[in-house]
Structure 1
C-alpha cells in the first residue's frame, strides 16, 4: 500500500507496471468510490528541463484529444493533469491479461485467436485514425484481453504526447516507440501516420502466429537496421496450419514502403473478416478473443446487466453571436478548447447570415475557429477551413501574403498529421520558394523567413523518409545541415539535431 493521494482524490495502492518514464498504479477514486489505474510520468526524464512546462501543457492537451475517441476497445481516460513533479493520467481499470502474457500462456497461439485479436485492433485503430491520432507504440504490452474476450488498447494519450513531430514535444528525428514494433519510417525519424500503426499491427500479428517478432537483434540499432533492410520470414515457414491469405496479409502489413501496405485499418479488417470464426460456436474458456465473434453481444455469464443511462439533451436556444464570442474568449482563457470549438462551429452559420460571409466579424470568427481546431488536434475539420482562409486571403492580397502562406503552412501540417505524406510534401514544396527567395518583400523578416524555410526543409526530409525515399531524405538533411551551420554556427540546436539524425541513418546502413 502506498497511501499517496493524487489530485486530492486518487489514493495509490499497488504498482502494476514500471518503465523508464514512469509507473502505473492501481488506485482508488475516493470521490466516485471506484478502482482506477493511474499512470505517473516524470517530464524531467523525457525532455530537457526547459521543456518540462511545455510537456505538462501538451500532455493535458493530448489526453483531451484522446478522450474524443469513443470506442469500446480503447481504455477510457477519466482525468489528467500534473502534481508536484509528476504528470498523472487516470484511466479505467481493465481486468484481464495483457496480450504478451496471454501469448506466453498459450503456445502455440491458435491462429483464429490471432485473427480475432487483430480484427478487434483494426476496429480500434480505425476509430483512432479518424480523429486523427497515431498510436505509435502498439505492442502486446499495450493490449489487454478482458475476461469476455474483448481487447482494450492502452497508452494512447501517452503515445500521442511522446510524438516525433516537431509540433509536439520531442525532437524531430528522435523515434518514440518500441524497437521490435517500429516501422522503418519511424525508426529513421520520419513523419508517421496510420500506416505506421499498421506496420506495428503486422509485427504483432507475426508474433502471435509465430511466437516471436519478425526482427530481433542484440542491439537496438541492429533491430532497427533489420526493420529497414531485411525481409520478414513468411509465417507459414514456421507454422503450416496458418492459411495462405493470412500469411500474405502479414507480409503486406510489414512492407518497408508505407505505400505498399494496406491503405487503412478498415482494409485490413475486410481481409481478416473471411478468416473470423462463424457465429454460434462455443468459446474455449475465459479470455478467448474469438468470443465477440462467436457470440456477439451475448450476455457474459454471472454478470449483471446495467441499463444504459439516458443523456440529457441540451435545450435549443437562439444564436447570440456577440454572447458566443464572449463565451469563447472565456473558455479559451480557461483552457476549455473543445467546448470553444463546438460553440465557434455552431455560431459561424448564424454569424454569416447576420453579418455576411465576407464581413470582418465572420472572418475573425473563421480564423479563430481554424486556429482552435488546430490547437485541439482536430486536423480533419481544420483542413478545409484553413484552405478556405488561404484561398480567400491570396485572392485579396496575393500568393506571397504572409497570412495566406501561414494558412497554407498550417494546412500542410494537417495533411501531415492525417497521414497523407504525398499531399503534405507537395504543399511544403510549393511553400518553400516564398520563404527562400522573397526576403524583404513582405513575407517576413529575413530571420523569420530563414527559420521557416529550414523548418519546411526538415519536414520535407521527414516526409521523404515516411515515403521510403531514404536517399533523397539523406541528401535533403545533408544540404540542410550545411546551410544551418553557415547560418547559425555548428553549436546551434538545429545543426546538432541534424548531425544526430544523419549519424543514425549512417549507422543503420553500416550495421
Structure 2
C-alpha cells in the first residue's frame, strides 16, 4: 500500500508496514533532512470523549520522556506532534528507520532457533531494558513484533513511548473490560489492572525467551480470558522437555522470569544479563550468517551504569554562569521554558541555581523553599522520578516538622513520593507509603480533596494486584466501589473504572 501524503509538512508517507486498532506505521521520507524514517500515526478518536484529550497529553509527554533514553538498542525518536484539527486529528511519532527483520519473522525463518541465538537476543534486550527502567519507563508490550534484528545481529526495541502511553492505565483506555496489550506476553499483574513496573517487562522477556527456545509462547488459548487464566494459575512447561539441548541454567532462568509473583522474579534486567553472561558465545570469528544475534558479543552490549546516578549537565545559559548567577533571571527563564514545554531545560536550570540560591538566601528561606518545590514538581513532570523522590521526601519532612504530620502540603509531598516509588517499580514500598497516608485522608474527608483520598485507595488495590494478593485487592476495591457509588454516584468515571476492574477480577476468579 503506497502513501504520498505529507505529515507535518515534512514527512512523505511511502509504504504501509503495519496497522492495528489505534493506528498505522509507515515508512516515510524526511524531506528536510533527506533520509528515510518510520512514522507511527495514532487515532485518539478511537477512544471516547475526554479520554481522547488525555491520550493526546500522555502521548506527547511520553514521547518526550522516551526521547531522553540514550541507548543504541532503542529506536531513536526524531519528532512527535499532532496532525490535523478536530476530533479526527492524528498523533504522529517519527522514529529512526531500522533495516532488518522483526524477531517474529526471524524466529519463523529459523526452526529450531539456536539456543545461543536466543541467549544473545535476550542479553541485548536486558541491556535495553536496563537503560529504559533507569528513566524509569516500563515498556509494557515487549514481544517479538516490537523487536528488530539488524543485519549486523544487533537488536533494536521499538514502540517504547507508544506502548507506555496506550497502557499507562488500562482501565481508563478500554471500555471492553479487557486490558490493552498482547495477552500472550502479559504479566499477571498487568492483565489484572495492577501496578506495573520493571518486573512486568521481565515477565514478558521470559515469555519471549520461552518462545525462542520452544517455538511457541508458554500459554495459548482461544480467548484473551482463557490465556490470562493460564498465566495466573498454570505453571509453564519447562523448555528442556521440548528442547533437551537447552542448558539447565537457561531453563531455570526462564522459569524464574515467568514467576506469578513479581517478587519471585529476578530483581532487575542487570541481574538477568549477569545470569546470561556465562551462556553467551566466547569471542571468536563471526559465522558470516546475516542477522546473527551472536555477532555483537565480546561484552559491548552489557547494561550501562545506572544513568540515574549521573549528575545532570550544567546548563550553559548566561543566567546560571559565573560565581553569583542571576537567580531572578534564571527563574524567569524557567517560567518561559515551562510555558514553551521545554521541561528538561527547566529542570537543569533549577538544579543549577538551587545551591547558589541557598548560599544567598539561606537553606530554609521562602525563596529556596519555593525553588525546591518547583524543582521537585518539574522533575515529576519530566519523568525523572528517581531524582524527584529524595526532594519530595525532604520537603515532606520539613513541612511536617513545621506544621505537623497531618498538614495537607506534607501529605501531598508524601503522596507524590509514593507515586515515584510506584513508577520506579517498588510496589511494596509504594504500598507501605500509601497505607500510611490513608488514615490521614480518611479522617479528613471534609478538608481533603475527595478524589485524592479515593485515588489512594485505588492505588492500594492496584498494588495489591501487582504483588499477587488478589483476595486483599478484591476486598479493597469492593469497599472502594461502595464508597465511590455513595459519594460520587454510580455513573462517575472513577466509579465505572473501579467496577470494570472488579468485573475483570471476578471473571478471572470464575
TM > 0.5: yes
1:385 paired residue number: 391
Out of 293, 296, 300, which is 1:292 matched to?
296
Question: By how many angstroms is 1:89 displaced?
Answer: 0.2
Q: 1:295 to 1:394 in 2, by over 3 A?
A: closer
Structure 1 residue 135 displacement after superposition: 0.2
The answer to whether residue 444 in structure 2 is matched with residue 438 in structure 1 is: yes
Within the alignment, does 1:257 sit opposite 2:261 as a pair?
yes
How big is each residue's C-alpha offset from its partner over 1:77-114, in whole Å with a ceiling of 9 and x where there is no partner? 00000111110000000000000000000000000000
Alignment partners' CA distance in 2, 1:251 and 1:121: 18
How many Å separate the matches in 2 of 1:171 and 1:65? Answer: 27
TM norm structure 1? 0.93
* Matched position secondary structure for 2:297: helix
Residue 307 of structure 2: aligned partner:
none
Task: Give the deviation of 1:169 after TM superposition.
Answer: 6.5
Shift of 1:160: 1.4
Residue by residue, what CA displacement relative to the aligned partner does 1:359-385 show, whole Å, maximum 9, x if unpaired? 111111100000011111110011011
- Which residue is equivalent to 2:13? 12
Q: 2:410 aligns with which of 404, 428, 433?
A: 404
Q: Residues 407-426 of structure 1 correspond to what in structure 2 (within 5 A)?
A: 407-426=413-432
1:196 aligns to what?
Answer: 200
In structure 2, relative to structure 1, the CA distance for the partners of 1:125 and 1:173 (3 Å cut) is farther
Tell me how far 1:2 sits from its aligned partner: 1.6
Please state if 1:328 is matched with 2:329: no
CA contact (8 A) 2:256 2:264 kept: yes
Does the Cα contact within 8 Å between 2:75 and 2:157 map onto a contact in 1?
yes
Aligned to 1:304: none
Q: 1:371 to 1:217 in 2, by over 3 A?
A: same
Structure 1: distance between partners of 2:488 and 2:359: 50
What is the Cα-based RMSD across aligned positions, in Å?
1.9
Aligned equivalent of 1:83: 83
Residues 1:364 and 2:364 are matched in the alignment = no
- In the other structure, the counterpart of 1:40 is 41
Task: Indicate conservation of the 8 Å contact 1:162/1:170, yes or no.
Answer: no
Q: CA deviation at 1:134?
A: 0.3
Task: Please tell me whether residue 123 in structure 1 is matched to residue 127 in structure 2.
Answer: yes
Q: Quick check: 330-339 or 477-486, which moved more?
A: 477-486
Distance in 2, Cα, partners of 1:284 & 1:215:
35
**Between 482-491 and 194-203, the greater mean CA deviation after superposition:** 482-491
Q: CA deviation at 1:355?
A: 1.0
Asked if structure 2 preserves the Cα contact closer than 8 Å seen for 1:100 and 1:141, the reply is yes
Are 1:143 and 2:147 matched, yes or no? Answer: yes
1 CA distance for matches of 2:287 and 2:74? 23
Alignment partner, residue 310 of structure 2? none
What is the TM-score of this pair, normalised by structure 2?
Answer: 0.93
Whether the aligned pair in 1 keeps the contact of 2:238 and 2:251 (CA below 8 Å) is yes
Gap regions ≥5 residues in structure 2: 302-314
Partner residue of 2:185 out of 166, 181, 184: 181
In 2, Cα distance between the equivalents of 1:16 and 1:4?
A: 15
